[in-house]
Amino acid sequence: MKYDFDVKIPRENTNCVKYDLRKNVFGNPDVLPMWVADMDFATPDFAREAVMERAQHPVYGYHFKDKPYFTAIQGWLKRRHQWEVPTEWMSFVPGVVCGFNMAVLAFTKEGDEVVIQSPVYPPFHHAASSHQRKLVYNSLKIGKQGYEMDFDLLEKQAKTAKMLILCNPHNPVGRCWTREELLHLSEICLRNNVLVIADEIHCDLVLPGFKHTPYATLSQEVADHCIVFHAASKTFNLAGLATSTAIIPNQELRVTYNNYVEALEAHLGNIFGKVATQASMEKGDEWLEQLLDYVQGNIDYVSDFLKANLPKVKFFKPQATYMMWLDFNDYGLSEEELWRKMTQEAQLGFNRGSDFGQEGKGFFRINLACPRSTVEEAMRRLKTVF
Ligand SMILES: Cc1ncc(COP(=O)(O)O)c(C=O)c1O
């Protein structure tokens, strides 16, 4: 079956964050919205059919996640990432952000140091600062080929840090970390007893030619010192169904974590998220292959367009995620002036780079999970104003 990602689906007036909050966020309700990390593509037919079938039953009461649900996730992780995950390692968590916040609360105390590799997804910053933990910035470095981890700095920071939240692959810079990079990081964290929380929500969105390494597959010892989060939500556009998975190989960590989650009653979840996730993990391979080819086409289009028309905009091609991280610093404009030009003149709704950390000043993150015609329109607007 060939899926059609060119179709434009109106999302206005559906309480959709990306479209219906434009006025609040950009001060302009007419920006072309390419910000929040969900897709403008239809959630795939097999996920929607599973939801509709369950919706036919007239009772929407409490439910639990059964064996076929976890078997579907196991099958997916094995097929896609060659990772064998026993059922007992897995537990439900509504969202990955909720999950890593609970890990911060369960495994650190006030004043403890939590390392993040910025620029990085804003909730990584809040996970430490909202709970009075001390945020430690292991900022990424920009090398000739793209973003790299700063291992020398991490060596120093790991001496006193309690936890590191890893974004694998990385949002917004689009790096699919190599096995060697992850091994280096894990070696430093193990030696210093720093617990690694691996957010792997983008792992299925690794682009053609790259390969995701699940952090917990590096070694038995690494598996014993980490908590991993996975979800079908980015991959299959199910974010509104609030369904994700915590994967904890170490029994002691798992018991502590699950006690925490269960005390908050955060382990039950919703019936629609269960059936949509299960269907996606069972049937989603072909759809995902086609999606990744389409997204790669959008990335190639933007890359070629910027090189030909706006050479002052600097970027590295992403290796994973449907986002591009664009550097506008060569325009020599202040952040406020860039924001005004982008939102009011170009009428483009991209994420402001500094929301990902001060390293992102002068950058924008642009979401390319949308029809090619939207991408073309965005590039036209960009060229006219810049
Ligand atoms: C790295 C990363 N983690 C987590 C999330 C959100 O996860 P959830 O909706 O499951 O909380 C996002 C969404 O953009 C993300 O990019």
> What is the spatial distance between Cα 165 and Cα 108, in angstroms, rounded to a whole number?
12
CA–CA distance, 344 with 82 (Å, rounded to integer)? 47
- Residue among 214, 206, 191, 196 nearest 138 (CA): 196
Handedness of CA 256, 260, 265, 269 (dihedral sign): negative
Nearest 5°: CA angle at 206, between 99 and 357? 55
Half-sphere exposure at residue 130, Cβ-oriented, CA atoms within 13 angstroms = 13
Site to substitute for ligand 1 among 18, 38, 96, 173, most atoms within 8 A of C-beta: 96
The pLDDT, as a whole number, for residue 144 is 86
Is 356 close to ligand 1, i.e. is its CB under 6 Å away?
A: no
pLDDT grade for 10, boundaries at 50, 70 and 90: very high
Q: How many of the other CB atoms lie within 10 Å of CB of 277?
A: 30
Question: Which pLDDT belongs to residue 145?
Answer: 85
pLDDT value at residue 252: 97
Cβ 122 vs Cβ 356: under 8 Å: yes
Strands (E), the chain: 32-33, 90-93, 113-116, 134-137, 141-142, 147-148, 163-167, 195-199, 226-231, 244-247, 323-327, 348-349, 351-352, 363-367
Six-digit token string for 183: 């091994």
Residue 268 confidence (pLDDT) above 90: no
Name which of 221, 143, 214 is nearest 179 in CA terms.
214
Residue 170: per-residue pLDDT: 98
Parallel/antiparallel/unpaired status of strands 244-247 and 90-93? antiparallel
Q: Is 95 in the pocket of ligand 1 (CB under 6 A)?
A: yes
For residue 96 and ligand 1, the question of a CB distance below 6 A is answered with yes
DSSP 3-state of 351: strand
Task: Say yes or no: CB of residue 165 within 6 Å of ligand 1.
Answer: no
Ligand 1 mean position to 244 CA, how many Å? 10
pLDDT on residue 184: 98
C-beta of residue 194 within 8 angstroms of C-beta of residue 115: yes
CA distance 107 to 160: 15
Length of the chain: 386
Structural domains of the chain sorted by starting position, each given as residue range(s) with its CATH number in brackets: 17-44+285-385 (3.90.1150.10), 59-282 (3.40.640.10)
Share of the chain above pLDDT 90, in %: 95
The atom number, within ligand 1, closest to the CA of 37 reads: 14
| Cα–Cα distance for residue pair 376/386, rounded to 1 Å | 15
Q: Is 171's C-beta closer than 6 angstroms to any atom of ligand 1?
A: yes
Q: Is 313 in the pocket of ligand 1 (CB under 6 A)?
A: no
- pLDDT category of residue 108 using cuts at 50, 70 and 90: very high
Q: For residue 271, how far is its CA from the centre of ligand 1 (angstroms)?
A: 20
pLDDT band at 267 (very low <50, low <70, confident <90, very high): confident
pLDDT band for position 302 (cuts 50, 70, 90): very high
Atom of ligand 1 nearest to the CA of 239: 9
Report the chain's mean pLDDT, rounded to a whole number.
Answer: 97
User: What is the tens place of the pLDDT at every residue in 216-225?
Assistant: 999 999 999 9
Q: Residue 167 CA: which ligand 1 atom is closest? A: 1
| Residue of 183, 258, 256 whose CA lies nearest to 222 | 183
Three-state secondary structure call for residue 25 = helix
Residue 147 Cβ < 6 Å to ligand 1: no
**Given a cut of 90, is residue 78 above it in pLDDT?**
yes
Distance from the CA of 54 to the center of ligand 1, in angstroms? 26
| Mutation to probe ligand 1, out of 171, 202, 322 (largest number of atoms < 8 A from CB) | 171
* Residue 308 CA, ligand 1 centroid: distance in Å: 33
Report whether residue 244 contacts ligand 1, using a CB cutoff of 6 Å. Answer: yes
Going by pLDDT thresholds of 50, 70 and 90, the confidence category of residue 266 is: confident
β-sheet bridge partners, residue 134: 113
Quote the CA–CA distance of 127 and 167 in Å, as a whole number: 13
- Distance (angstroms) between ligand 1 centre and the Cα of 107 equals 20
310 CA to centre of ligand 1 in angstroms: 30
Q: Read off the pLDDT of residues 332-348 as tens digits, 9 standing for 90 and up.
A: 999 999 999 999 999 99
93 lines ligand 1 (CB under 6 A): no
Ligand 1 neighbour 35 (Cβ under 6 A): no
Distance CA(18)–CA(1), nearest Å, equals 29
Q: What is the pLDDT of residues 141-191, one digit of tens each?
A: 999 889 999 999 999 999 999 999 999 999 999 999 999 999 999 999 999
CA of 201 to the centre of ligand 1 (A): 6
For ligand 1, what atom is nearest to the CA of residue 95?
Answer: 10
Q: Do residues 89 and 249 lie in contact, with contact meaning Cβ atoms separated by under 8 Å?
A: yes
Q: What is the CA radius of gyration of the chain?
A: 21
Give the 3-state secondary structure of residue 93. strand
160-173-362 Cα angle (round to 5): 95
329-332's contacts with Cβ under 8 Å and 24+ in sequence apart are 329/361, 329/362, 329/363, 331/386
CA distances from 272 to 70, 198, 202 (A): 15, 26, 21
Distance 161 CA to ligand 1 centre (A): 23
Provide long-range contacts, Cβ within 8 A and 24+ apart, for 84-90. 85/247, 88/254, 89/247, 89/248, 89/249, 89/254, 90/245, 90/246, 90/247
Ligand 1 pocket: which of 118, 121, 323 to mutate (most atoms within 8 A of CB): 121
The pLDDT tens digits for 229-256 are 999 999 999 999 999 999 999 999 999 9
Residues whose CB is less than 8 angstroms from the CB of residue 181 and which lie 6 or more positions away in sequence, other chains included? 148, 149
What local confidence, expressed as pLDDT, does residue 306 receive? Answer: 98
Q: Is the CB of 199 under 6 A from ligand 1?
A: yes
Please report the pLDDT score of residue 265 as a whole number.
83
How far lies 200's CA from each of 17, 97, 155, 176, in Å? 23, 11, 23, 11
Pocket mutation for ligand 1, best pick of 38, 97, 118 (most atoms within 8 Å of C-beta): 97
